[in-house]
Amino acid sequence: MVEENREAAGQQASAGQQAPAGLDAACREALAAITAQGLMRHLRPLSGSGPWAERDGRRVLVLGSNDYLGLSTHPAVARAAAQVAEAGMDVAGGVGTGEVGSGGSRLTAGSRPAHRELEEALAAWKGTEDAVLFGSGYLANIGAIPALAGPGDLILSDTLNHASLIDGCRLSGAAIRVYRHGDADHAAALLRAERGRHRHCLLVTDGVFSMDGDLAPLPALSALARDYGAWLMVDDAHGTGVLGEGGSGTAEHLGVRGLVDVQMGTLSKALGAEGGFVAGSRVLCDLLRNRARSFIFSTAPAAPVVAASLAAVVLARGMASERRELWENACFLREGLEGLGFRLVPGEPRVPIIGLLTGEAGPTMAMAAALEERGVYAPGIRPPAVPPGRGRLRVSVTAVVSREDLSWALERFLAAGRVTGVLGR
Ligand SMILES: *Cc1c(COP(=O)(O)O)cnc(C)c1O
């Protein structure tokens, strides 16, 4: 699309007087190409909250949410947001009028004591000196990476890293080398060959891979970072709140807390709110506040969202028993699907993301539709979100879905797998 646009712009310039092709016609043409590949997407709203919702008039059990602890509907989280919307963020300070939008960037008129409080709570949870809040996880990644690496520097990136990491790497202008998924030996070989020719080096990886549900080899990667004078950045969007006794994430789970230099996370998944952050040393955070463009040139997160996030962080730290429930649900569903004969992406058992492999886009969407007809919603994931031939249902589970509902869902998986031929392939 970008290339096509460039070509179109070039043609236009050289054609001089010639009228540019209509925008709608160009959009139609691009959409036709997407449709021809079987990759056309439509938004189909899901209404209701919690494990059960309604889609196109049908009641469905949602096995596709990242709200792993059910915090998006937790009464204390909702109350925190509502109070701030009605009475303002600085109730204690006596300011007293309700507030939604923050009115500016953190560096101009937008910064509130509550933003700072949330950053401090995140830093304490992650075990770092400081943290910086961003409007979303996506914004955190596309802001932080170019702030830390640029032309003359080297970035090593896992081939299955999240799109926001990939975009951040591209924006940085650094040399990018992609290593095979989870393969620290491949990363080491690339470092041996390339490290000497670059000034700084950043190793970038998802902590929990968002589509596969497996973990990055953080112990090996942190050792590489040490040996090669590189910095390790981990995107723990799906580990935060989910892994480790204290829920601080993949580093805690793998016993490498303190060895990850740049800890990115999101407030929009297990924390049930919205926003992103980077936790790390004080100077790292100071640099991000001065150099990350998505921090500098974007409005500070809205007051009710900040209040909800803070309530969620406090709750999530203490939700050890809910986390255990979540891990047990994840194991139960994984073992159940395996027992039925489905081919799964080998993932970490505690991670509530299960990739049920379906192959090409056709059977992927057929399986998702057959399942939905039977009352279970799990999104079908097609290329380009996953590599060609690796289409899947991304089945995710939360702590708040009951074991009975999961057993009921497994029967629906079996029926849908049979009718679509996904089972027994
Ligand atoms: C969802 C996700 C993000 C983006 O976070 P948002 O807060 O949704 O913008 C970044 N990285 C990974 C691995 C994710 O899964």
Which atom number of ligand 1 is nearest to the Cα of residue 164? Answer: 10
Could you give the CA distance from residue 203 to residue 184 in angstroms, rounded to a whole number?
Answer: 11
d(CA 66, CA 48): 15
pLDDT surpassing 70 at residue 95 = no
**Residue 283 CB neighbours (<10 A):** 10
What number does the ligand 1 atom closest to the CA of 238 have?
15
Question: Which of 298, 269, 276, 309 lies closest to 121 in space, CA to CA?
Answer: 309
Pocket of ligand 1 (CB under 6 A): 136-138, 141, 162, 164, 206, 210, 235, 237-238, 266, 268, 276
- SS3 of the chain: helix, strand, coil, percent, to 5: 45, 15, 35
Ligand 1 atom, smallest distance to 138 CA: 9
Report whether the peptide linkage leading into residue 349 is cis, meaning its omega lies within 30 degrees of zero. no
238 is catalytic: yes
Distance from the CA of 40 to the center of ligand 1, in angstroms?
22
The H-or-E segment that residue 266 falls in is strand 262-266
CA of 208 to the centre of ligand 1 (A): 11
Amino acid letter, 132: V
Confidence of residue 92 (pLDDT cuts 50, 70, 90): low
Whole-number Å distance between alpha carbons of 422 and 340: 11
pLDDT digits (tens, 9 = 90+) for 287-322: 999 999 999 999 999 999 999 999 999 999 999 999
* d(C-alpha 170, C-alpha 226), whole Å: 24
Burial 299-330 (b: 16+ CB within 10 A, else e): ebbbbbbbbbbbbbbebbeebeebbebbbebb
210 is catalytic: yes
Residue nearest to atom 8 of ligand 1 (CA): 137
pTM of structure: 0.92
- CA 264 – ligand 1 centroid, Å: 10
What pLDDT does 17 receive?
54
Q: What whole-number distance in Å separates Cα of residue 45 and Cα of residue 238?
A: 23
CA dist 387 → 131, 177, 194 (Å): 34, 18, 26
pLDDT exceeds cutoff 60 at 269: yes
The pLDDT of residue 386 is above 50: yes
Residue 345 to residues 67, 106, 213, 238, 349, Cα–Cα distance (Å): 21, 41, 8, 16, 11
72, 269, 294, 396: the catalytic one is 269
Give pLDDT, residue 417: 97
